[in-house]
Amino acid sequence: MANIQDFINKLDELKFDDMYMNDFFLTWEKTFDELQATWTVADALRYLRENNISTKVFDSGLGISLFRDNSTRTRFSFASACNLLGLEVQDLDEGKSQVAHGETVRETANMISFMADVIGIRDDMYIGKGNTYMHEVADSVAQGYKDGILEQRPTLVNLQCDIDHPTQIMADALHCIHEMGGLENMKGKKIAMTWAYSPSYGKPLSVPQGAIGLFTRLGCDVVLAHPEGYEVMPEVEEIARKQAEESGGSFTKTNNMAEAFKDADIVYPKSWAPFAAMEKRTNLYAEGDSDEIKALEKELLAQNAEHKDWCCTEELMKTTKDGKALYLHCLPADINDVSCKDGEVEASVFDRYRDPLYKEASYKPYIIAAMILLEKFKNPQKVLAELEKRGQKRIFEA
């Protein structure tokens, strides 16, 4: 777009009042207007930064990050988003903190939030737990604000849970939108969200679930492909089906990777663990049964190994639309003969898409910042206008 007013005009067409003073858990809990507002604000923030205009809207304030799993990308994306808006990140690292020592969620959530404007949580390891935990935290601080304990309501950004990975998939979608030349061009595009082989085990379901839960709203023809036994959560499939109907797209399933790739405009081949196995593992962990856990891991790796042919090859890529489907991945990918012997994708395919893959990832900090901005400001249009008017340089100009 040519100037900030274009983004403001776009926002003026949308209804997203409910995002203010609210949290962001799952994309399908948001209206389509709200998703569009998020993409629009993300693009607007990027526009301002590219024009060296500071988007610091906080002059002090904390962004709390709570990771229950190792993470580089998401950690840096959240830190970048907070920094972009003027918030300082404080990590609540369970190793360093007393969280591990049996405190209740409610107490800890309030104790760390006296100066917190936003809390970002990643908790994707156990089925049925991560999203629930996030709601506990969000409810706790919302109550703390209501009770006058907290002077501001810290809003939550889901940085990946057991059900959805909204910051990733919203970034993926924004990448597609730009590559396809606009949201309206997504209609009728065929998207293959397919399982792929990985020698590692237990990768989260949040990306495939997030993908079918979001792209079905854009009028796309979404195909979910995986070997038998690698089903995702049935509730999410149900949502995808319903949404596809509403948007004029479609949602189909297949156990045939080639079928999914055939004439696809966009492919997203990625490994994940079977939902049923993840659920079983969650229960075994709860019971602390380490022998059974080891047995399950062994079994799952053996099961994976039966599907080494599920790989994004040059041959398969040739069958996509003009042989040039847009290849997506949340990274890091398991690349044949690079990160492992057999993996999710052939090295030559991956290499050809390196730049688009990095661009795909580059949207994430802006998506997170947009979620925060929409949660914290009633009138983001005015914020954007005033930021440009203020004209504070991000890098000193001399």
Among 17, 18, 107, 238, which residue interacts with its own copies (rule: CB under 8 A)?
Answer: 107
Angle at 246 between CA 242 and CA 252, to 5 degrees: 50
Please report how close the Cβ of residue 63 comes to its own copies at its closest, in angstroms: 10
Backbone angles phi, psi at 117, to 5 degrees: -95, -25
Please report how close the Cβ of residue 201 comes to its own copies at its closest, in angstroms: 13
C-alpha span between 26 and 163 (Å, rounded): 8
Closer by beta carbon to its own copies, 50 or else 228: 50
Handedness of CA 234, 235, 236, 239 (dihedral sign): positive
| Listed ranges 24-32, 104-112, 159-167, 234-242: which one lies at the site for its own copies (CB under 8 A) | 104-112
Write out the binding residues for its own copies, residues 232-291 only, by CB under 8 A: none
Q: Are 160 and 167 in contact (CB under 8 A)?
A: yes
HSE of 290 in the Cβ direction (CA atoms, 13 Å)?
0
Closer by beta carbon to its own copies, 244 or else 372: 372
Q: Which amino acid is at 11?
A: L
Please report how close the Cβ of residue 258 comes to its own copies at its closest, in angstroms: 28
Of 135, 157, 213, give the one whose Cα is nearest residue 366: 157
- Per-residue interface string for the shown chain with its own copies, residues 152-181, x marking contact by CB under 8 A: x-----------------------------
Of 162, 347, 335, 185, give the one whose Cα is nearest residue 266: 185
Please report how close the Cβ of residue 67 comes to its own copies at its closest, in angstroms: 8
Among 125, 361, 371, 372, which residue interacts with its own copies (rule: CB under 8 A)?
Answer: 361
Write out the binding residues for its own copies, residues 7-46 only, by CB under 8 A: 46
Q: Are 95 and 69 in contact (CB under 8 A)?
A: no
Closer by beta carbon to its own copies, 133 or else 377: 377
| Listed ranges 239-247, 270-278, 293-301, 381-389: which one lies at the site for its own copies (CB under 8 A) | 381-389
Please list, residue by residue across 15-33, b when 16 or more beta carbons sit within 10 angstroms of its beta carbon and e when fewer do.
ebeebeebbbbbbbebeeb
Write out the binding residues for its own copies, residues 108-147 only, by CB under 8 A: 108, 110-112, 114-115, 117, 144, 147
Write out the binding residues for its own copies, residues 179-208 only, by CB under 8 A: none
Closer by beta carbon to its own copies, 253 or else 394: 394
Write out the binding residues for its own copies, residues 295-354 only, by CB under 8 A: 331-332, 338-339, 354
Angle at 221 between CA 218 and CA 222, to 5 degrees: 90
Please report how close the Cβ of residue 347 comes to its own copies at its closest, in angstroms: 11
Please report how close the Cβ of residue 66 comes to its own copies at its closest, in angstroms: 11
For tokens 């959240």, the residue is: 78
Which residues are within 8 A (CB) of 174 and not within 5 positions of it... i.e. 6 or more apart? 39, 42, 43, 363, 366, 367
* Residue 101 binds its own copies (CB under 8 A): yes
